[in-house]
Amino acid sequence: MTWNLEPHLTTVDQNLPIGIFDSGVGGLTVYRALHERLPHEHFVYLGDTARVPYGTKSLATVERYAIENSRFLADHGVKMLVVACNTASALALPAIRNAVHVPVVGVIEPGARAAVSLAKGRPIAVIATEATVQSEAYKHAIREIDPIAVEVIERACPLFVSLVEEGWANSEVALSIAQHYLGDLGNAQIGALVLGCTHYPILRDVISSVIGKTVPLVDSGEATAVTVETILESRGLARRLHEDFARTRHLCDDLDHFYVTDAAQRFAKVAERFLGTAPAVLEAVEVWGHDELRTY
Amino acid sequence: MTWNLEPHLTTVDQNLPIGIFDSGVGGLTVYRALHERLPHEHFVYLGDTARVPYGTKSLATVERYAIENSRFLADHGVKMLVVACNTASALALPAIRNAVHVPVVGVIEPGARAAVSLAKGRPIAVIATEATVQSEAYKHAIREIDPIAVEVIERACPLFVSLVEEGWANSEVALSIAQHYLGDLGNAQIGALVLGCTHYPILRDVISSVIGKTVPLVDSGEATAVTVETILESRGLARRLHEDFARTRHLCDDLDHFYVTDAAQRFAKVAERFLGTAPAVLEAVEVWGHDELRTY
């Protein structure tokens, strides 16, 4: 009796946008993956730049921030919510699902599924923030998909985020930091490595050169886009439009709206580095402090 | 008629602690400097670890966070407030002084004064966060002290904070990042370099080896401790105790109380790296969301 658990879904408008939130700018790699796979859809992106990063913060704090972000997007009218931030996906998915009444997709489960399928029984490495590693969310998700599977090696790489935001992804410094974090994985015969933080796909080349170019890298954003497509189709939520429409879309055009909780100018600058273009529509907003007024 | 502007000061108890706040753990270098110079005093330290870092955030957001922190410490009963965070000192000092009724000391002006005195007319370099550099607070403070002075070279070094928190202060990686940021300063004949972020004193050796060991480094924390001592003496606020008392004190003993807004465990771990010891009294608190109830 699925309709009984989610009665509201019957009335959801297919033309509503898909909400995406991240702790900051990193989720733009997930936005890009979604935009590429689903060019018919509109997106509303929220970057919590006033409180970024989440990866060094506690469960209670990450949950609180994630709920505030989710409610902001739900209020905005979205048909679905994508939690682009790995840390929030790892720590706060149950709390988010309690807080809003639309389907919620995190990046952990799709990433874990892609890794299991690529690794073919060999060890899976997961690199992520301190909080994500500590939660063991990827390990649990992988074990749930394949209970008798594989060794899972999890490793926190905190400096990677600052490296990417500084624009040093292809520097000598990036290479020596990657060697420090991952040098020993070259001999671990790993079958797949999960890029378990939204910033890490930007470091793809450097990471590959350290762990070996034959090891497949899992970009959780791309894996998540596949999951989102499946859910949209199965629930009749996909936007139906003439094929020509998709061809006229481009990243960050004015059909996609971007919100940040602080420092819009810095966000635009880093967005340009990540996507090659800055958002056409970008606005600073507050997402906190109105909990007691809500009726969720 | 100074008493007319600050009538409350006449009733302040000398035995109250001194409040210190920082965006996170970095301000512990300022705490250490204060503790060393003023062993008779008690301290209450607040690290806003739920919202760290401030250095990439906007004026409005840094002001809001700084006011919330200051009010928390004022409510706690402090005789004086030290803003250990360079970014908050650079952006929010006027707002903080409006929000609380105790003397407020930031780290910028003392650091600028020490640099002018050391540089003897040669150029002064200031390294700091993006927000501090953008505010030009050090440049203004230096010009105010010495209007006809000296060239001021300001430079943002965002990766330094993550390096220190990761415990890589003395690594090859730290050296190559410092060379990238500061390599050209070796030829600039600078007279002093201001460590304009609380994390940077931990990188003292690496920075010195890049810019030249003869260039004096200004630790704003030490300079601030001198200013605080002067203010305590001049206002009759210093704690008077038997000399023996000071000899029994040690860093982080149970007379100094530490509060964090998130992740106390991580704070304790990094504190141990910074100070060689973790706080005896450490508690997680909330500092936001009660503005409308206050009567300041």
| ipTM attached to this prediction | 0.86
User: Which pLDDT does position B11 carry in this prediction?
Assistant: 67
**Range of lowest pLDDT (A88-102, B9-23, B96-110):** B9-23
Q: Are B235 and B9 in contact (CB under 8 A)?
A: yes
Residue of B nearest to A130 (CA): B266
Tell me the pLDDT tens digit for each residue of B214-260.
Answer: 999 999 999 999 999 999 999 999 998 777 777 788 999 999 999 99
Domain B2-106+222-293 has CATH 3.40.50.1860: yes
Q: How far is CA B235 from CA A233, A255, B15, B70, in A?
A: 72, 61, 14, 21
Residues of B in contact with A163 (CB under 8 A): 159
* B18 or B248, higher pLDDT: B18
Q: How far is CA B266 from CA A259, A282, B49, B165, B166, in A?
A: 30, 34, 9, 10, 11
Residue of A nearest to B176 (CA): A173
> Is residue B90 predicted with pLDDT exceeding 90?
yes
> Between residues 25 and 54 of chain B, which touch chain A (CB distance below 8 Å)?
49-52
Residues of B in contact with A158 (CB under 8 A): 162, 165-166
How many residue contacts between A and B have a Cβ separation below 8 Å? 69
Predicted structure pTM score: 0.90
Where do the H-state alpha helices sit in chain A?
2-5, 28-37, 59-76, 86-99, 108-119, 130-135, 137-145, 159-165, 172-182, 204-211, 220-234, 243-248, 264-275
- In this complex, is the C-beta atom of A59 within 8 Å of any C-beta atom belonging to chain B? no
> Is residue B1 predicted with pLDDT exceeding 90?
no
User: Which pLDDT does position B263 carry in this prediction?
Assistant: 85
- In this complex, is the C-beta atom of A23 within 8 Å of any C-beta atom belonging to chain B? no
- In this complex, is the C-beta atom of A188 within 8 Å of any C-beta atom belonging to chain B? no
Backbone angles phi, psi at B266, to 5 degrees: -65, -40
> Are B159 and A158 an interchain contact pair (Cβ–Cβ within 8 Å)?
no
> Are B159 and A161 an interchain contact pair (Cβ–Cβ within 8 Å)?
no
Q: B207-231 b/e with 16+ CB inside 10 Å = b?
A: bbebbeeebebbbbbbbbbebbeee
* B56 or B106, higher pLDDT: B106
Q: Give the mean pLDDT of B21-30.
A: 96
Q: How far is A55 from chain B (nearest CA, A)?
A: 11
User: Which pLDDT does position A149 carry in this prediction?
Assistant: 67
Q: How far is CA A150 from CA A185, A192, A196, B159, B234, in A?
A: 15, 11, 18, 36, 68
- In this complex, is the C-beta atom of B165 within 8 Å of any C-beta atom belonging to chain A? yes
- The DSSP H or E segment spanning B156 is strand B152-156
Where do the H-state alpha helices sit in B235-276?
243-248, 264-275
Q: Give the mean pLDDT of B77-89.
A: 97
> Are B172 and A172 an interchain contact pair (Cβ–Cβ within 8 Å)?
no
- In this complex, is the C-beta atom of B15 within 8 Å of any C-beta atom belonging to chain A? no
Q: Are A221 and A234 in contact (CB under 8 A)?
A: no
Q: Measure CB to CB from residue B162 to each of A61, A158, A176 and give the nearest one.
A: A158
Residue of A nearest to B163 (CA): A159
- In this complex, is the C-beta atom of A56 within 8 Å of any C-beta atom belonging to chain B? yes
Query: Does residue B252 have an active-site annotation?
Result: no
Domain with CATH 3.40.50.1860 in chain A: 2-106+222-293, 109-220
Task: Assign domain A109-220 to its CATH architecture.
Answer: 3-Layer(aba) Sandwich (3.40)
Sequence-distant (≥ 6) Cβ neighbours of residue A156 within 8 angstroms: A127, A128, A129, A130, A132, A133, A134
> Is residue B137 predicted with pLDDT exceeding 90?
yes
Q: What is the mean pLDDT of each run of 10 residues along chain A (296 residues)?
A: 44 91 96 95 97 93 97 96 98 97 97 96 95 96 87 95 91 95 92 96 96 96 96 93 78 95 91 92 86 39
Distance CA A221, CA B72 (A): 40
- In this complex, is the C-beta atom of A161 within 8 Å of any C-beta atom belonging to chain B? yes
Q: Measure CB to CB from residue A162 to each of B162, B261, B266 and give the nearest one.
A: B162
Radius of gyration of chain A (CA): 19
- In this complex, is the C-beta atom of A251 within 8 Å of any C-beta atom belonging to chain B? no
- Helix/strand/coil for B93: helix
Distance CA A191, CA B65 (A): 45
> Is residue B154 predicted with pLDDT exceeding 90?
yes
